[in-house]
Homo-oligomer: A and B are copies of this chain.
Amino acid sequence: MTANDTSGLTLYELAGADPELRFSPYCWRVRMALAHKGVEVEHVPVRFTEKEKIAFSGQRLVPVLRDGDRIVTDSWRIALHLEERFPEPSLFGDPATIPLTQFVSAWADTTAMYLLKVILLDIYNALDESDREYFRSSREKRFGVRLEAFVADKEMHLAGFQKALQPLRAILTDRDFVAGDTPTYADYCAFGMFMWARGVSNTLLIPPDDPLFAWHEHLLDAFDGLARKAPRHR
Which residues in A have some Cβ–Cβ distance to B below 8 Å? 93-94, 96-97, 99-104, 106-107, 109-110, 113, 163-164, 166-168, 170-171, 174-175, 178-180, 186
Known: A94-B94, A96-B94. A104 touches B102 (CB 8 A): no
Q: List B contacts of A109 (CB < 8 A).
A: 166-167, 170
6 closest cross-chain pairs (CB), A and B: A100-B100, A94-B96, A106-B167, A106-B170, A107-B167, A110-B166
Shortest Cβ distance from A113 into chain B, in angstroms? Answer: 8
Shortest Cβ distance from A24 into chain B, in angstroms? Answer: 19
17 interchain pairs (CB within 8 A)?
Answer: A94-B94, A99-B171, A99-B178, A99-B180, A100-B104, A100-B179, A103-B104, A103-B171, A103-B186, A107-B107, A107-B167, A109-B167, A110-B163, A110-B164, A110-B167, A110-B170, A113-B163
